[in-house]
Amino acid sequence: MGRREKVKKDGEADDFESDSDEGGAPKVIKNAVDLQRLNELFEYRFGQSKALCHDKPVHIPDQRKEKKFSEPPEFIRNVMGSSAGAGSGEFHIYRHIRRREYARQQHLDSLSEKDRLDEEYQRQLEENQKACEERTAKKREKRLKKKQKQTGKKKKKASTASDASLDDDEDEEEDSDDADDKGETEKEKKKNHRDSESKQTKKSVVQEPVKSQPVSFSNQDEEETGVTAFCVKGTPSPSFASTTTYRNLAALDYVNALLRHDDMNVIVVDWGPLAKGTLLAYPLVMRRSKFVARKIAEMLLSLARQDFIKPWHVHLIGLSLGSNIASMAARILASETGHKVQRISGLDPTFLYNFDCETCIGGVSKADAEFVDILHTNTWFIGVARPVGHVDFYPNGGLLQPGCSILDGTWSLYHSVGVMYSVPTEHRLHSGYAHPLTRSWQEGNVDIDPKKLMLPVFVTDVEDAIEDIDSLPDVKRYGVATLPGVLKDLMSKGLKSVLLFGVLNRIPKDESGSGADGEGSPVVAAIRVLRDKLPDLLVACDVCLCAYTSTGHCGLLNSDGQHDNAASVKRMAAQALVYARAGAHIVAPSSMSDGIVGAIKKELVSAKLDGRVAVLSYAVKFASSCFYGPFRSAAQSAPKGVTISREGYQLPVGSRGLAHRAAARDVEEGADMLMVKPGMAYLDIVRETKDRFPNHPLFIYQVSGEYSMLFHGAENGAFDLEDAVMETFKCMRRAGADVIISYFTPLVLELLNNHRMIEKLGTNHSSSKLL
C-alpha cells in the first residue's frame, strides 16, 4: 500500500482538487503531505520555525503512469506471493528457480524419450522374433516336403529293382524312374544323375583300396628335368593363434625359396576344409588325413603312368600332420610301384600318429623313402620326440624355440616354427646381427651416435706410409704399420667401424686384379693386423677390382673390351672369400655386377662363414659424373690421363624405378645390409629404399666429392664447417639412413666428445650442432 493512500486514509487534508482563481487563473495546487514533511524536516534539523519555510508549489500531473510488471508463473506466485519478481532480489530468486525448473523438465523429457525408445526396441524385437519363427517354419516345411519326396523315390526304386539284375539294369531303373516321375523337371533329372555318380565315386574311393597294374619305368638312368616336391600343410592353428600353417608357408615365401634353391617343380597340397578343427577334433582330422594321403598317392601314380615323374625324383615335404600324410602317401606309392620316393622331409610330425611303434599306420618311418630327415621343434607338446628318420634335428633341444614363450598360449608357434628352420640359405639372417655392432644397426633411431658412423680408410702396400691426398684435404693413406695407432686414437673418441680400400704403389696391376687378394695385398694384411691389435673394431672391406686392374674398371673385360659380368662375379666372389677368411666382419661388393651378392653368399655358405660374415651391398650406386673424382685420385683406381666410363654397370643418375629393382635384386640374393651412394644428392632414393625395405639396415655414403664440396666451401668462408657437417648428417638420418659412411667421421667424433664433456661438467653452454 503506497504512502499517498495511507495519508488519505488517516483523514488528513486532501488538496488534490483543482479550482480556478478569481481572475480566472488556475489555482496553484499544494500537496499537504509534502508541506508537512518539509516543515518537520526543517524543524528537526535546523530548529527554524515554519515562518522561515516558504511554500514551494509542486505540480502534480493529472494522471500518474503506473508501472506494470509481467505476471510471474503460477508456481512462483504460490511460493512467493503476487509481488514476486518486482524487486531485484525477487528477480534473482525467480531466475534460479526457473533454471531448476528447466533442468527438471529436461530430465523428465529424457526419461520419456528413453521409455519411448525402449518400447520401440521391444516392439522391433518382437517383430524380428516373429519373422524368424515364420522363416524357420517355412524352411522346416520345405525340408519335410523334400524328405517325403526322396522317401517316395527310394521306395519306388526298390520295387522296380526287385525284377531285374543289380549289375545290368541299374541305368534302366534310373531312366524308368525319371520317366514315371512326371513332376520332375529336366534340370532336376541331371542334378540327381550327377549326385548318384558322385556318391558311387566317393564310395569306391573310400572303401576300396587303390588297385592298378604295376607301373614299369624305362631308362631309369637317363637325365631328368628335376625333382618334384609336394608340400603338404598341417592342421590350421587353433582359434587363438594368429595364422595358419599355410599362411606361415606363404609369409616366408617358402615355395619361392625352394624354386630358387634348386631346379624343381613344387606342388602345394591344401586340404583346408578337411583339416579344420580344434585339438579336441584331432582324431576326426586324423581319419580324414588317410583319405588325403590316398588322393596324393593316386596323383603320384597318375603322373608316374604318364611318365611325368619318377618315384626316385619325388620329394615329399610335410608340416605337422602333413608329415604323416606324406609318409602314408609314400607307403602307398611304394606298394603299387615297388619304388620308394627319393626323400621325405618332416617338419615336426605329430606324435599322435606315431605312438610307440615305428611301423604303426600313419606314423613317419625311415622305411618310407630313400632318405628321411626330420626337424623336431615342439617335442614338449604335440611333436614326436623320438628319432624316426635317417637324420633327426633338434634345434634348441627341440623344446622351446627363440621368439616363442609358453605364456603366449599358442602351442602352434613352436609347432610351425619348423618352417622357418627349413628355409634355404637365401633367408639366413644370423650374419646380419652376429657382431654386437651389427646388432645395434638393426635398431632404428635418428640420433647421431658413434655406432652409426663408419670411417673409410685407404690402406697402401707401403707398410710405414702416411701420405697426404691432394684431392681430399685432411685425409691420408696409411700403411699397415701406421694404421693401428691412428685408429686406436680415434677409438678412444668413439670410433666403432672402418671400411678398407686398398691402394697399390709397389705391387704391379694386371688385368685380373691379382693384387686385391694375392700375396702382399694391403687389405688382407690390414685385416689381420687390426683384428689382432684392435679386436673391438669392426672391419668392413670394399670388394671391387678398380684399384687393382690395369684397365681401371670395376670388373674384368672380355675380348671386345666390354664388361664381362660372369667372369667379374666369379673373380670378386673369390676376393670376398679371401677377405672373410682373413677375419673381415663385413664384405661390401661395390661393382654393381648382376648376381654378385648371391655369388658371395654361396661362397660364404660353402666355407661355413655365412653365420659370421655379413654382406653389405652397394645396392643403389649411381654413375655420378662429378662426386667420385677425388676418390679415384685417392685410390688410384684409374690410369693417369684416362677417363673411365662405368655407365655400363652403374645406375643412371635420373633413374628411380631401376634403383628400386636393384635394391630388390640384392635383397632377394640375401644381402644383409643395403647402401645408397652418393648420399646428399639422392636423399629421395634413400627414403624410398628405406620404406621398401624397412628391415634392412641402410647405409649412405657421403662420397669424396660431397666431402670436398663442404670442406672447400667452409674454407672460403661460405659457411661454418661444423654446422654444415652436422646439418647434412641429420638430414641423412632423417631420410632413413641407419649408418653414415663419411670422411668427416673424425670431426663428428670430436664434436660428440666435446658435447659429452660439456654435459659431464654441467656447464650452461651446449652445442647447437648436436641438438
Here the cell at position 302 is 597318375
Whether the ω angle into residue 630 lies within 30 degrees of 0, i.e. cis, is: no
| Beta strands 476-478; 466-468: pairing state | antiparallel
Question: What does the domain layout of the chain look like in residue ranges?
Answer: 3-52, 76-152, 227-427, 434-770
Here the cell at position 15 is 488538496
Reported as half-sphere exposure (CB side, CA atoms, 13 A), residue 577 has a value of 18
Contact 545, 637 (CB under 8 A): no
Q: How far apart are CA 542 and CA 545, in angstroms?
A: 9
362 phi and psi, to 5 degrees?
Answer: 95, -20
Fold classification of 227-427 is Rossmann fold (3.40.50)
Here the cell at position 68 is 506494470
Q: How far apart are CA 325 and CA 235, in angstroms?
A: 11
Mapped onto helix, strand or coil, the DSSP state of residue 544 is coil
Amino acid sitting at position 623 = A
115 phi and psi, to 5 degrees?
Answer: -60, -40
Q: What angle do CA 423, 428, 429 make, to 5 degrees?
A: 135
pLDDT in tens, 145-171: 877 877 776 565 555 545 444 444 444
Here the cell at position 674 is 643395403
Residues of the chain with pLDDT under 50: 1-23, 25-29, 48-53, 81-88, 161, 163-184, 187, 190, 197-225, 237-252, 354-361, 405-415, 420, 425-426, 641, 763-768, 771
Q: How far apart are CA 441 and CA 739, in angstroms?
A: 7
Contact 679, 737 (CB under 8 A): yes
Here the cell at position 452 is 652409426
Here the cell at position 30 is 499544494
Q: What is the pTM of this model?
A: 0.49
Sequence-ordered list of residues with C-beta below 8 angstroms from that of 89, at least 6 positions apart, any chain:
none
Contact 573, 392 (CB under 8 A): no
Starting at the earlier edge strand, list the strands of the sheet with 391-393.
264-269, 227-232, 314-319, 341-347, 369-375, 391-393
Residue 393: beta bridge partners?
375
Radius of gyration of the chain (CA): 49
Q: How far apart are CA 215 and CA 697, in angstroms?
A: 55
* Chain CA centroid to CA 518, Å: 44
Candidates 316, 330, 329, 165; CA nearest to 229 is: 316
Q: Look up cell 609314400; give the residue.
A: 330
Q: How far apart are CA 299 and CA 266, in angstroms?
A: 14
Q: How far is CA 318 from CA 101, 284, 416, 419, in A?
A: 77, 19, 11, 10
Amino acid sitting at position 506 = R
Q: What dihedral angle (degrees, nearest 10) is formed by the CA atoms of 415, 416, 421, 427? A: -160
Q: How far apart are CA 693 and CA 700, in angstroms?
A: 14
Contact 464, 482 (CB under 8 A): yes
CB atoms within 10 A of CB 345: 22
Q: 721-732 burial by CB neighbour count: b if 16+ within 10 A, else e?
A: bbebbbebbbeb
Residues classed as catalytic = 621, 677
What does 291-358 look like in DSSP terms, one character per residue?
HHHHHHHHHHHHHHHTTS--GGGEEEEEETHHHHHHHHHHHHHHHHHS--EEEEEEES-BTTTTTT-T
Long-range contacts of 189-192 (CB under 8 A, 24+ apart): none
Q: Please give the pLDDT value at position 103.
A: 81
Candidates 267, 363, 384, 359; CA nearest to 315 is: 267
Q: What is the CATH number of domain 434-770?
A: 3.20.20.70
Candidates 554, 611, 608, 602; CA nearest to 574 is: 602
Q: How far apart are CA 224 and CA 491, in angstroms?
A: 58
Q: Please give the pLDDT value at position 553.
A: 83
Sign of the torsion formed by the C-alpha atoms of 588, 589, 594 and 600: negative
Q: What is the DSSP letter of 551?
A: S
* Ranges assigned E (strand) in 689-765: 698-702, 739-742
Q: How far apart are CA 645 and CA 150, in angstroms?
A: 84
Q: How far apart are CA 230 and CA 326, in angstroms?
A: 8
Q: What is the DSSP letter of 57?
A: -
| Beta strands 466-468; 698-702: pairing state | unpaired
Sign of the torsion formed by the C-alpha atoms of 557, 558, 564 and 568: negative
Judge residue 369's burial from the number of C-beta atoms within 10 Å of its C-beta, 0-12 exposed, 13-18 middle, 19 or more buried.
Answer: buried
Residue 673: beta bridge partners?
616
Candidates 682, 718, 716, 710; CA nearest to 698 is: 682
Q: What dihedral angle (degrees, nearest 10) is formed by the CA atoms of 71, 74, 78, 79? A: -80
Q: How far apart are CA 384 and CA 389, in angstroms?
A: 11
* Ranges assigned E (strand) in 423-518: 453-460, 466-468, 476-478, 497-503
Q: Please give the pLDDT value at position 738.
A: 94
| Beta strands 369-375; 227-232: pairing state | unpaired
What does 593-657 look like in DSSP terms, one character per residue?
-TTHHHHHHHHHHHTT-TTT-EEEEEEEEB--SSTTHHHHHHHT-S-TT-PPP-TTTSBPTT-SH
Judge residue 767's burial from the number of C-beta atoms within 10 Å of its C-beta, 0-12 exposed, 13-18 middle, 19 or more buried.
Answer: middle
